Amino acid sequence: MRAIVETWRMGVSPEEIPQGLPHLTLAQVFDALSYYTDHQDEINAYIERNRIPDELIVMRRFHVKPAPRYFPFRYLQTE
């Protein structure tokens, strides 16, 4: 659902979405978008709660170690 909605909100037409997500049929894309239009507030809230900060995506893409503020337990030192 999230991948379909975010792709569609970027301006990709429903007919083009299965090209980027080949495991989905066009009917599944339309079903998801139909459900989304009936439950926009709920789904948008879920997407925002689970959004990965852009800087983490960039760090991962370029294999940069994240700052301790994102993963504090990984950087705790035991004495």
pTM of the full predicted structure? 0.64
Annotated domain spans of the chain: 2-75
**Predicted local confidence at residue 44, as pLDDT:** 92
Give the 3-state secondary structure percentages of the chain, helix then strand then coil, rounded to 5.
60, 0, 40
Give the DSSP per-residue string, 31-43. Answer: HHHHHHHHSHHHH
pLDDT tens-place values along the chain, 79 residues long:
889 998 998 899 999 999 999 999 999 999 999 999 999 999 999 988 888 776 666 656 565 565 555 545 444 445 4
For 1-79, list the strands marked E by DSSP.
Answer: none
* Residues 4 and 32: beta-carbon distance below 8 Å: yes
